Structure 1
Amino acid sequence: MENKEDILTIIDIDLKKVAWFSLIITVLLSILGLVIYSWLHDGFNINFSIVDLLLFFLGYVLLIVFHECFHLIGFWFFGKAPWSSMDYGVNLKLGIAYATTNLPIVNSAMKKALLLPFWMTGVLPMLLGYWVDSPGLVLLGAWLVAGAAGDFAMYKELIKYPAHLLIKDDPVEPKLYVLNNKKQDSI
């Protein structure tokens, strides 16, 4: 970790608060998504088989994996972080999947990397579900939009800081370090 004098502030995310927010958004977006689906497609039948439920669960797990992969792509594409600086996995103790880079990136790039999975694994599947007439895909998208609650919590904190400041992701906990750019060469 950087020297204490290099850290301007620490953004620490409250996982319990994020989890409750995510649960509420999951329910609301699921209902809203299906209401919009019904309006666009003149209703639908709720008829889920065991196979449908298994496919939904498999799709959910797969989209969570893609969610973290899109963070990595965001770190690489927007933040110019090399692949060798990145890591991903599941923190069973905290009950979260994660993607991280051990290099600081500028705030503007970090904000884009935080929201890329929201668009690619949440909004895009919902829109695709409306287009291909799939309420299950609409629900998957709604669940993944809500699953980005932690990313939005971090984004909400980062918008308070200038775009040029460096942001370092904590490799273990849901924390971000806002760094002083004066010693950029030592980072």
Structure 2
Amino acid sequence: MLPEKEPIVIELNIKKLMMDNVVVTSGLVILFVAIQYICFKDFNFSFWEMIIGSILFVVLYIVFIVLHEASHLIGFMLFGAVPFKSLKYGLNLELGIAYATTDQLLPNHAMKKALLLPFWTTGVLPTIVGFYLNSTVIVLVGAFLIAGAVGDFAMYKELRKYPKNALIKDDPQLPKLYVYTTSEKE
């Protein structure tokens, strides 16, 4: 049940986020490749290694996008105690985004954790594994997924303005959150 007070709406600008994503992705790719080169001094690969690596990158990238959204769903259940039946997952082809949502209200502190869980599980962790294995493909997938969390960080940043017990409703189709506060102070 939704509170009777009108919610505060947090809506992200998709075009700005896409530009931010391109900038962050480019920066991370350059940084991570430089770190890998400094650490391993190993960039000898053949035409076939480039083809296989490119195919592997695309496959891993798609798999990790699915895992990114699944991590949000796990976060909703783990941190917000929402039931499995309240979860929804899909693609918004018009906006060009995958999404994971719940129809349940979450406390702000739980929503913030659920927003950042994929950053760690599908971005940071694969990057560390990629460096450990000296795998440029895995490092690059990690860089792309870290950058892919820019929208999650933008939402997190906005949610920091509200009390931890504020109730958050995720929009089922748009990158938008509704914040219901319990106090008159905002």
Unaligned runs of 5+ in 2: none
What's the TM-score once normalised by structure 2's chain length? 0.92
- Distance, in Å, in 1 between the alignment partners of 2:169 and 2:19 is 26
Counterparts of 1:1-187 in structure 2, within 5 Å, are 2=2, 5-45=4-44, 47=46, 48-181=49-182
Alpha carbons 1:121, 1:145 under 8 Å: kept: yes
Alpha carbons 1:123, 1:145 under 8 Å: kept: yes
Alpha carbons 2:10, 2:177 under 8 Å: kept: yes
The one-letter amino acid paired with 1:76 is M
- Distance, in Å, in 2 between the alignment partners of 1:22 and 1:149 is 6
Q: List per-residue Cα deviations over 1:126-147 (Å, max 9, x = no partner).
A: 0000101101111000000001
Q: How far 1:39 moved relative to its partner?
A: 1.5
Alpha carbons 1:7, 1:180 under 8 Å: kept: no
Q: How far 1:46 moved relative to its partner?
A: 5.3
Alpha carbons 1:7, 1:177 under 8 Å: kept: no
- Distance, in Å, in 1 between the alignment partners of 2:5 and 2:86 is 20
Alpha carbons 1:90, 1:97 under 8 Å: kept: yes
Unaligned runs of 5+ in 1: 183-187
Provide the aligned C-alpha RMSD in A. 1.5
Q: Percent identity?
A: 50
What SS does structure 2 have at the residue aligned with 1:160? Answer: coil
Q: How far 1:50 moved relative to its partner?
A: 1.8
Alpha carbons 1:22, 1:147 under 8 Å: kept: yes
- Distance, in Å, in 1 between the alignment partners of 2:124 and 2:13 is 25
Q: List per-residue Cα deviations over 1:39-68 (Å, max 9, x = no partner).
A: 221342355432221111000000000000
- Distance, in Å, in 1 between the alignment partners of 2:78 and 2:28 is 30
- Distance, in Å, in 1 between the alignment partners of 2:120 and 2:139 is 14
The one-letter amino acid paired with 2:18 is A
The one-letter amino acid paired with 2:138 is L
1:185 — aligned with what? Answer: none
